[in-house]
Amino acid sequence: MSTLLPNGRVDNWIGGRRVAPQAGRYLPSIDPSLGTPWIEVPASDADDIAAAAEAAKAAFAGPWRALPAMGRAGLLRAAARKIAEHAEELATIECRDNGKPIAEARAGDLPSVSEMMNYWAGAADKIHGETIEVSRTSFNFTLHEPLGVVGIIVPWNSPLAILAAKVGAALAAGNSVVLKPAEQAAASILAIAPLFDAAGFPPGVVNVVCGTGEVAGDALVRHPDIRKIAFTGSTATARRITERSAPGLKPLAFELGGKSPNIVFADADLDKATIGASTAAIFTGGAGQTCVAGSRLLIQDTIYDQLIERIEKHVKQAVRLGNALDASTTMGPIAFAEQFEKVKRYIELGRKEGAEIVFGGRFGPENFASDSPLCGGYFVAPTLFRGARNDMRVCQVEIFGPVTCAIPFHDDDEALAIANATTYGLASGVWTKDLNRAHRFVRDIQAGAVWVNSYRRIHWAVPFGGYKDSGYGRDSGLESLRGYQQTKSAWLELG
């Protein structure tokens, strides 16, 4: 039995306590492995957002604002310990809510959440201004101060990890927070919220309000007391946030979608590239529901057929579809029904556009025996298209599922041209033994992250974010911390 979630229904966390949505409305959260409801979460509205903003504003003006940096650091370390104590429970909640395999959450997501909090604790008391020599008769220096109340919106694919990156930075910088999780997978965020208060944070510093983007999200971005919006999600939603927040002149930080090129040259270590182009890039874990998924697989023409054969063999051996809570599962379901239908539509579109399915293309009950309880789940088998062209819609639109398109190229110039021929620019991979080529592609690929001879490696100390339609601003690293602060200049005349 969960100690962080009550049976059947969970409320918002506002001002240090559970608060029911004022209109009394709730949404069912669906277990995507089974396709059945398992808990209800709030369908909050503008009144609930206003209550959370008021609590956050009061906390910021009161005990939280007065706490020195070392005090914030101590509380973040205490939060890291609390999260570690409840790691198994939080992992189970998140995996039941969004379908990520429990093995990945246990080994990767939850340990990283605790470590991120420790990282931000280490950063909290190292916020320094600088002195600037202007003249002999004045003393000039800068201060880095918190913004105030920050609004944070996290998606459904990795809620806890993204919470840790954004909320940790915002708290280290001295802000208070109103966080809105995606309504499709809000349970783990609602569950973790009380742990901050249990760690000693003043009530109102961390608030969580669940609701739809159209209602609760819109109210959050328009609220006058919210001084910044940090959002991870789709490019289309980011454009709406930009429009709706414009009257308040709020700073925005967006980590958005991607259609990332994963480029394999003939001189690459093909054993490593086979894994890096398939299970490491897109086919395990969250079923391709990651913004950095290597969904465009660029293969040099001389090894095109060979690498596809290697990938097919590896995926058949390495990928096991199953219930997210089964420790032997290596790829879980799509997180919710609407996303499941979207992935299906794009696989059918790829066929119509002329690409050939090498493996996959099976949906839902097609993946299991007829009497399996998983037949109602939102499962899509890992799917590889060959003979794809970069101008196909399946090669340009972020599908956000276990679907990749193998595109042949002849030489370096063609590979680079294809890689950059997209509106996105979040991540990329290059597989080669040629050091000169590696440096050229790091320099010339239009993406916020370039992995050479690896893929999908992210660390809380390394800035992460995109170019072009993949957003602006950075998560993780000290660069992210600056985004939650404002700079004040001081002039002291000396005589």
- Alpha-carbon distance 374 to 38, whole Å? 15
- Does 495 map to a domain? no
| Same domain membership, residue 485 and residue 393 | no
The CATH number of whichever domain residue 69 belongs to comes to 3.40.605.10
| Same domain membership, residue 361 and residue 245 | no
From 255, 312, 353, 398, active-site residue = 255
**pLDDT at res. 209:** 98
**pLDDT at res. 234:** 96
The CATH number of whichever domain residue 308 belongs to comes to 3.40.309.10
- Does 479 map to a domain? yes
453, with CB counted inside 10 A (0-12, 13-18, 19+), is middle
Catalytic residue at 54?
Answer: no
| Same domain membership, residue 141 and residue 233 | yes
Instruction: Give the count of domains, the chain.
Output: 2
Which secondary structure element, helix H or strand E, spans residue 195, and what is its range? helix 187-198
- Does 429 map to a domain? yes
Catalytic residue at 414?
Answer: no
**pLDDT at res. 171:** 98
| Same domain membership, residue 105 and residue 27 | yes
Residue 221 DSSP code: H
Task: Give DSSP secondary structure letters for 226-278.
Answer: EEEEEEES-HHHHHHHHHHHGGGT--EEEE-----EEEE-TTS-HHHHHHHTT
**pLDDT at res. 495:** 75
From 89, 94, 210, 291, active-site residue = 291
Sequence-distant (≥ 6) Cβ neighbours of residue 19 within 8 angstroms = 11, 12, 13, 48, 51
- Does 193 map to a domain? yes
Helices and strands (H and E) in the chain: how many? 16, 20
| Same domain membership, residue 447 and residue 478 | no
- Does 3 map to a domain? no
The predicted model scores a pTM of 0.96
| Same domain membership, residue 481 and residue 408 | no
| Same domain membership, residue 273 and residue 223 | no
| Same domain membership, residue 232 and residue 272 | no
| Same domain membership, residue 382 and residue 318 | yes
- Does 465 map to a domain? no
- Does 206 map to a domain? yes
* Residues facing 383 on adjacent strands: 403
- Does 382 map to a domain? yes
| Same domain membership, residue 267 and residue 368 | yes
| Same domain membership, residue 114 and residue 207 | yes
Expressed as residue numbers, the domain containing 149 is: 12-256+471-490
The tens place of each residue's pLDDT in the chain, 495 residues long, gives: 478 988 899 999 999 999 999 999 999 999 999 999 999 999 999 999 999 999 999 999 999 999 999 999 999 999 999 999 999 999 999 999 999 999 999 999 999 999 999 999 999 999 999 999 999 999 999 999 999 999 999 999 999 999 999 999 999 999 999 999 999 999 999 999 999 999 999 999 999 999 999 999 999 999 999 999 999 999 999 999 999 999 999 999 999 999 999 999 999 999 999 999 999 999 987 899 999 999 999 999 999 999 999 999 999 999 999 999 999 999 999 999 999 999 999 999 999 999 999 999 999 999 999 999 999 999 999 999 999 999 999 999 999 999 999 999 999 999 999 999 999 999 999 999 999 999 999 999 999 999 999 999 999 999 999 999 999 999 999 999 999 999 999 999 997
Q: Give the residue ranges of DSSP H helices in 299-360.
A: 304-318, 337-353
| Same domain membership, residue 213 and residue 270 | no
